[in-house]
Structure 1
Amino acid sequence: MAHVWHVDGLRVGERRPPSARSAWFGLALATLCAASYVVALVLPYYANGFAGATQEELWAHDLTTVWPYGTALGLPIGLAGILAVTVGPFLAAGTLWWSGRTLWVHRGGLATPVRTVLTTTLLVSVGILSWLPTPMAGQLFSWFID
């Protein structure tokens, strides 16, 4: 029989349930991802009256001249847009995988507040990933990249 190492009363093969701090960190990442989509892509689309515009009509407007990109907030919002377009899908998939796996592996040993935060993280990540293949998201991505 193999020797089993003990660390803080747990065998090496066992994992501790995540703390509330790490669960909140995962929710913060998923919320950051969603907020970057809303602030950098959706907000300028609706605030400038582009709702219902075709792709050609949208491309006729330069993104740097519309609100809020033409203001002093243009640089931070542009950086949030770069985060949303480049890292956002991977961040949402990673938080979805982590929260789902954690809920499954520690299904009997999680405290109720931690389980609630992990479930919220899972739902936010599913919401982001289900919004990405929509026509509106594709239109906003191509408008931002253009």
Structure 2
Amino acid sequence: MTDEVQTLVTGVRELVGCEASVLAVELRQGKALLRLTEEMWDGIGDALASNPDDAGDLDYFMSVVLRNAGFGRGFSGAVAFLEWQPGRESAIVASRGVVSASFVLDRTEEGASQSPADGAVNAALRSIGVVRDEWPDERAAVGLEMP
């Protein structure tokens, strides 16, 4: 078993009418989490493999992820794709089907000094409207637990 986790976070209201809403877990601040299953990743992998010329394009990647996670083609809300494993996290933020930001924090590299509070996951959550307030970081503010 791997310690790597991939998930999507979006607004609860944005999920209305999406198949993805069935698997979503409600978080604080009106956000919802959808963990990407092995079955979803199989579909994502097949779609990327069938179109290798576009597989590296983040807009295309996000459209494939969202479609395989049960978001309809017309989904236009802000969504964050979050990926983390021990020492490394990355995130992609898209709205209206267009990637607006991507972030990476790699604490496995020698000399890495960036704080996890300033990392990729927290930056992406800020980008979709999460407010830290009195919490130590955005992950805690929405109740997102990371292994």
Same fold (TM over 0.5): no
Structure 1 or 2: more helix by fraction: 1
TM-score (norm 1): 0.23
Structure 1 or 2: more strand by fraction: 2
TM-score (norm 2): 0.23
Higher relative contact order (CA 8 A, sep 6+): 1
